C-alpha cells in the first residue's frame, strides 16, 4: 500500500520517518509543514493577488489558513466548534497589531471569515481594498472596516514564517509537542485513507494505461 500525500512533496511516511527527539529532524519537520500550507493554499492566494477582483478568494483562503495555523500552534486535532476562538487567537499575533483589537477580531470572524466561507460575501459594512495606508481601518462613523487584502495576506504569510522559525528552536518545546500531535493526527487520517484509495500517482498511471 502506497502512502497518500500530506503535501505536494511529502507523504505520511516522510513525516513518520522523523524523530521529534532528534534535533536535526526539526528543520525537515518545518519544511514539511511549510510545503503543506504553502503548497496547497498560500501560493494560490499569492498568485490570485495578481488579478484585480481576487480579494474575496484571497481572504477566503487566508481565513482558512488563519484557523489551520492556529490549530498547529495550539495542537488542536479537531477544530469543530472552535473556529471562532482559533481565528481570533490567530489575529492576536504580532503581525496584526495594532489594527486588530478585540472588536475587530470578532467582526473579522463573523463578517469576513464566516461571510466568505458560508455565503461568499463580506457581511455588514466591510470593504476589501488594496494600497491602503494600514492593514485595517474603521470607516468614518465606526460602522465598518476597510481591510487591505495585500497587507493582510502578507501578515498571514509572515505569521507562518515566524511560526516555522519558532518550531526549529529547541526552547519552544510546548509548541513542538503541539505540532507533533497535530501532524501525527493528519498522518493517521492519511494512512486510513490509504487503506481505501490508491496513491495519486498510481491512479494516474493506471488511467493512462487504459
Domain that holds residue 201: 23-205
Examine residue 48 and state whether it is found in any structural domain, yes or no. yes
**DSSP letter assigned to residue 142:** S
Q: Is residue 210 part of a domain?
A: no
Residue 14 located in a structural domain: no
- What per-residue confidence (pLDDT) applies to 196? 47
In a domain? residue 79: yes
Number of domains within the chain: 1
pLDDT at position 199 is 54
How high is the pLDDT of residue 207?
A: 43
Structural domain contains residue 16:
no
Give the per-residue pLDDT at 206: 40
pTM value?
0.88
Q: What is the C-alpha separation between 32 and 41, in angstroms, rounded?
A: 14
Provide the residue-wise pLDDT of the chain in tens; the chain has 210 residues.
456 889 999 999 999 999 999 999 999 999 999 999 999 999 999 999 999 999 999 999 999 999 999 999 999 998 899 999 999 999 999 999 999 999 999 999 999 999 999 999 998 889 999 999 999 999 877 678 999 999 999 999 999 999 999 999 999 999 999 999 999 999 887 666 554 456 555 444 444 443
Residue 60 included in any domain = yes
Length of the chain: 210
Q: What angle do CA 136, 97, 156 make, to 5 degrees?
A: 75
Whether the bond into 98 is cis, omega within 30 of 0: yes
| Residue 204 confidence (pLDDT) | 43
Looking at residue 7, its pLDDT comes to: 94
| Residue reference for cell 536535526 | 24
**Cell numbers at residue 165, please?**
522559525
The pair phi, psi for residue 6, each rounded to 5°, is: -105, -5
CA distance 17 to 26: 12
**Burial zone of 61 (CB within 10 Å; 0-12 exposed, 13-18 middle, 19+ buried):** buried
Paired strand residues for 127? 146
Q: What is the DSSP string of 66-127?
A: HHHHHHHHHT-S--TT-HHHHHHHHTTSGGGTTT--HHHHHHIIIIIIHHHHHHSS--TTEE
Amino acid at each position: 500500500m502506497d502512502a497518500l500525500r500530506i503535501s505536494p512533496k511529502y507523504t505520511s511516511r516522510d513525516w513518520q520517518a522523523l524523530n521529534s527527539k532528534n534535533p536535526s529532524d526539526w528543520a525537515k519537520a518545518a519544511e514539511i509543514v511549510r510545503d503543506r500550507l504553502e503548497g496547497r493554499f498560500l501560493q494560490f492566494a499569492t498568485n490570485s493577488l495578481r488579478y484585480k477582483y481576487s480579494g474575496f478568494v484571497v481572504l477566503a483562503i487566508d481565513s482558512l489558513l488563519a484557523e489551520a495555523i492556529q490549530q498547529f500552534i495550539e495542537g488542536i486535532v479537531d477544530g469543530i466548534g472552535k473556529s471562532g476562538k482559533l481565528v481570533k487567537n490567530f489575529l492576536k499575533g504580532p503581525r496584526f497589531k495594532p489594527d486588530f483589537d478585540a472588536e475587530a477580531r470578532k467582526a473579522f470572524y463573523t463578517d469576513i471569515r464566516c461571510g466568505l466561507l458560508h455565503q461568499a460575501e463580506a457581511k455588514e459594512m466591510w470593504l476589501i481594498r488594496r494600497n491602503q495606508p494600514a492593514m485595517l481601518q474603521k470607516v468614518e462613523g465606526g460602522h465598518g472596516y476597510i481591510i487591505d487584502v495585500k497587507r493582510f495576506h502578507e501578515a498571514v504569510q509572515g505569521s507562518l514564517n515566524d511560526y516555522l522559525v519558532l518550531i526549529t528552536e529547541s526552547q519552544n518545546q510546548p509548541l513542538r509537542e503541539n505540532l507533533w500531535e497535530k501532524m501525527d493526527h493528519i498522518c493517521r487520517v492519511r494512512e486510513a485513507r490509504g487503506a481505501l484509495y490508491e496513491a495519486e500517482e498510481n491512479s494516474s498511471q493506471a488511467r493512462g494505461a487504459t
